[in-house]
Amino acid sequence: MDYNEGVLRENLSRILVDVEPIHDLNEMKISSTKVYRGTLPKYYLVYFLFVDFLNFTKFGPFEKIAYIIPFKYKGNFFRIEYRKFGMVLVGEEAANFEPVKNVIIGAVRASEKYYSKMAEDSLSGCNLNVVNSSAKLWQKFEFFKRSYFELNKDSENKKIELDQRQKNPKDIKSPADWINDNALATTELRKRLNENLEPKRLLEQANWMAHAAVDAFFSWTEHFFTHLLVLKGVIKTGEDFKVSLQENWTTKAKKIFSMSDPDDQKIYSEFQKYRDQQRNFYAHGALGKQGEALRFHSSCGAVPIKLLPSQSIPRFTVWGRDENKPVSVQTLERTDAFVEQLFSGWRSIAEIYLREYGLDSILQYSSDGTYEKVMNSPELMKEFCEALSYEIDRYENMDF
């Protein structure tokens, strides 16, 4: 059933039958108070329902308190307070908070369709923020990248160690010692087998980390592209954002990089190739979109083939892969070059906002031209970021 305001008000009147709003804070006569800090709904859900929808009076902001909503429950005084460290219920010393809390939670749960309508309506405008998670995504990429190099180095060291031991077999028991000792023979064979395989195991794990790093890198780039498009003025409303969500990495990248700029075009083409070769391949169950997992039978054994796109009959070609260096490793080795190019030109100014200050993108500033103005110089951007960061910190600390 769709949202129906009349039905919701009728349901809320039953749930809140014992609740009475207070419109004058002076009516709140509580000589000694007790505070409930348990589970309560999100501060914004309470505010939207009681203040915006039911017209309860809210007071504030005050120092370290964003708002206070006073009310009576069965004749007893209570107030909801949204403080710096969370939501609380305040009542008289002898107050029983349990039924009051349950009524508030029940009212919020009954209003789910109201909240959904609010969210849907907000998408048509520009009063929206896009959360900037690029720092966390970058840390994830850095973790996998660092793990790759560490495991790769461990593999090399193990191989060197194994070569040295084979050249100087002081600690290796001679097969002659195994003849009359089956247990010793089994132990030594397993030990040598494990030692011989250890460099390969570590290298395989390193390649897994390289693949995970590349996957994390493309995730970071696509997230960052979206924020760049907000600062560039391409995404101005919630509807624009919804459209962008449906676009793939290639479409976003072409809006970020200029195909008329040789350096932009080169790095874009290079990473588009890497994306097709690795990320898209594994995204389709390691089968690929073009039959990369297929092998055809021939006089020299099973040979890899690659199904090429064609408007008519599909064509095949013998497909060779660089087995000495996986695509994931090739991609990983070029990520620094990609980042360097990404943060050149106009994008270097956006980097100040998104990476140096780590601010969320605000669609209103894209819509009203604010971003367009401050993107003209690093100095203007830094000045803007300082002012915006100050206001954000002030509200987060509730320094009203």
pTM of the complete model? 0.82
Q: Is the pLDDT of residue 177 over 70?
A: no
What are the pLDDT digits (tens) for 98-122?
Answer: 999 999 999 999 999 999 999 999 9
- pLDDT per residue over 211-261, tens digit each? 999 999 999 999 999 999 999 999 999 999 999 999 999 999 999 999 999
pLDDT for the residue 189: 53
Of 336, 138, 350, 132, which Cα lies nearest the Cα of 228? Answer: 350
Is the separation of the CB atoms in 238 and 378 below 8 Å? no
Encode pLDDT of 280-337 as tens digits: 666 656 555 555 666 677 777 776 665 444 444 444 444 444 556 788 899 999 999 9
Q: What is the mean pLDDT of residues 38-47?
A: 96
Structure tokens at 189: 């064979």
Q: Which tens digit of pLDDT belongs to each residue from 133-165?
A: 999 999 999 999 999 999 999 999 998 888 887
Cis, bond preceding 61 (omega within 30 deg of 0): yes
In this prediction, residue 309 carries a pLDDT of 46
The full DSSP string for 254-304 is HHHS-TTSHHHHHHHHHHHHHIIIIIHHHHTTTSTTTTTT-EEEETTEEEE
186-200, pLDDT tens digit by residue? 555 566 666 678 899
74: left (phi over 0), alpha (psi -120 to 50) or beta: left
User: Does the structure show a pLDDT above 90 at 384?
Assistant: yes
The residues, any chain, with a CB within 8 Å of residue 392's CB and separated by 6 or more, are 359
Give one word for 64, left, alpha or beta, with left for phi > 0 and alpha for psi -120 to 50: left
pLDDT value at position 316? Answer: 43
**pLDDT exceeds cutoff 80 at 4:** yes
Contact 306, 290 (CB under 8 A): yes
Average pLDDT across the chain, whole number: 87
Q: How many CB atoms lie within 10 A of CB 338?
A: 17
DSSP 3-state percent helix, strand, coil across the chain (nearest 5): 60, 15, 30
Quick one: pLDDT at residue 360? 96
DSSP letters, 84-104, are: TTEEEEEEETT--HHHHHHHH
Q: For residue 31, what pLDDT band results from cuts at 50, 70 and 90? A: low
Provide the percentage of residues in the chain whose pLDDT is more than 90: 68
The whole-number pLDDT of residue 78 equals 94
Joined together, the tokens standing for residue 117 give 């309508």
**pLDDT tens digits, 88-100:** 999 988 899 999 9
Mean pLDDT value of segment 258-287:
83
Per-residue pLDDT at 312: 42
